[in-house]
Amino acid sequence: MKRVVLAAITASVGISILTTGCSKLAIPKPKETEKPSTVVESVSAITGISTSGIPARMPGIVVSQGTKEIYKADDRKIRECKVSQGDKVKKGDVLFVYDTDEMKLKIDKGVLEIEKMKQELDGFKKKIETLKKEKQKNGKSNSGSYDIEIKELELDITAQEFQIEQKIKDQASLTESMGDPAVVSPVDGFVKKINASDSSDSDDLTDTETSDAYIVIEEAGNYRVKGKAAGNDLLQRAADPETRVKIISRIDPEKTWEGKLQSEGADNAAQNNAVINADDTEDTEDTDTDGENSYFYVSLDNSEGLMMGQHVVLEWAESSGNEKKGIPLSSVYLEIHDTDYYCWAESKDGTLERRKLTVGNYYEDEDVYEILSGLDLNDYIAVYDESLQEGAAVIHSEDAEEETEEEETEEEVEVGNLGNNSVISKAVSVCSTIQLPFIRRIIVRILSIPTPLLSI
């Protein structure tokens, strides 16, 4: 009971802190003169240009332009699969063969049934002829019974003829559906995937795709390149529909190709299963992004000399007639006043400073300015905001992410150490909904003080 009362009092103290500004507790306040740290990003990372001035290189891999899915009939079994994963196939090559034994048996059985039905039909007709002869021989006596029996047989004949006609149609449909038991490839390419649940002769492949096709074939000849770039750089490049990419052979740097960034490059890079990791190796899982990196596709001008699965190096190439001077920088980093341009950058002493820039052309489609002077690729700059102040402390974006993770982990541990007391947990929960992390941390620390009173 005392613990509950104490916890309630402690929660009240926390709320009092919120309403009185901590004026009645000897708890350190943040210094009013202390300025918040401003997150700054590397100009090199923002623009995708290395600090040496050479365009940043990105890993890439040659993939197919598309795939063909081959489905099997649900009501048929496969006798043999003629291909395996990774096999090269040409248009017309046999992929798998249906089991026709069961279907042939059905057809043969149907032929016998039709023959039997025809014999029964002949029997009905012969019996009618016999009844007519007997009726003529006996004259008018019992002629009525003969007429009834003959009429019934004629109805049986009509029904039997209809059934025979239907059976013949069914046989024709069954024979047509059996067709050629061999299913062939519609394109040149290689076998990417086989769902082998119905065939013991082929391997079941692990794949992230959800297609239920029996065989998936990657088309040959129509290649494109999949690459990986910094997410913000890719989004900036994707804004220009004429963005060009240079492809370089890893084995022979003298061999190069060029292509255009595909329109879906920044949005839909998960269509192909080959993924480029940081070490330029392939994986079996695919996502649009990998941390700060995003995947994209390049449509090639000419794929001659490239092979499926070949690893290459990529560079951004300037669009024809659109070569930029200086550093290409998005307007979100600039403070603009008529013809004056500024950026907020990290100074030599590690604080934030307002820096005047010399600007060249502006590319409206990309919302990018040419920075001719005042900024270096080694600099760190902040996204412009009216609240920025000179002299403010700065923190690099990569360090800010690490610090945030550490603070969240530390706070989770502190809250976890409070135990399962429902009143205390409720107080912490209430504090969590208030957007004052400093106050919340103070309350968490108060509630976790191991005093003799709390041990009652």
What pLDDT score does 202 carry?
38
pLDDT at 105: 87
In a domain, 125, yes or no: yes
The pLDDT of residue 364 is: 86
What pLDDT is recorded for position 273?
A: 34
Number of domains composing the chain:
5
Angle at 330 between CA 326 and CA 334, to 5 degrees: 90
Residue 291 pLDDT: 46
Q: Do 212 and 85 sit in the same domain of this protein?
A: yes
Last residue of a domain, one of 258, 291, 317: 317
The answer to whether residue 118 is domain-embedded is yes
Asked if pLDDT for residue 241 goes beyond 80, the answer is no
Same-domain status, 302 and 225: yes
153 or 103, greater pLDDT: 153
Here the CATH number for the domain that contains residue 349 is 2.40.420.20
Mean pLDDT estimate for the chain? 74
CA distance 12 to 288: 47
Mean pLDDT over 351-378 rounds to: 92
Least confident of 167-171, 193-197, 241-245: 193-197
In whole angstroms, give the CA distance from residue 239 to residue 229. 15
Per-residue pLDDT, 247 = 92
Selection from 12-21, 29-38, 225-234 with the highest mean pLDDT: 225-234
* Last-in-domain residue among 289, 317, 345: 317
Task: For residue 23, tell me if it sits in a domain.
Answer: yes
For residue 404, is pLDDT > 70? no
* Residues 6+ positions from 438 with CB-CB distance below 8 Å: 30
Please tell me the predicted confidence (pLDDT) of residue 163: 93
Please tell me the predicted confidence (pLDDT) of residue 382. Answer: 95
Last residue of a domain, one of 290, 317, 344: 317
Pairing of the two strands 256-261 and 223-230:
unpaired
Q: Is 11 within a domain?
A: yes
What are the residues whose beta carbons fall under 8 Å from the beta carbon of 225, sequence distance 6 or more? 60, 61, 62, 63, 245, 247, 259, 297, 298, 300, 312, 314
Does residue 285 sit in the same domain as residue 229?
yes
Same domain, 77 and 30: no
Residues 192 and 226 in one domain: no
Does 398 reside within a domain?
Answer: no
Question: Cα(first)–Cα(last) distance of the chain, in Å?
Answer: 10
pLDDT band at 277 (very low <50, low <70, confident <90, very high): very low
What is d(CA 296, CA 289) in angstroms, rounded to the nearest whole number?
10
The predicted model scores a pTM of: 0.38
User: Is residue 271 included in any domain, yes or no?
Assistant: yes
pLDDT over 60 (residue 168): yes
Same domain, 185 and 92: yes
| Separation of alpha carbons 43 and 377, rounded Å | 5
- pLDDT at residue 441 is higher than 70: no
**Structural domain that includes position 309:** 57-65+221-317
pLDDT tier at 371, thresholds 50, 70, 90: very high
Q: What is the CATH number of the domain that holds 288?
A: 2.40.30.170
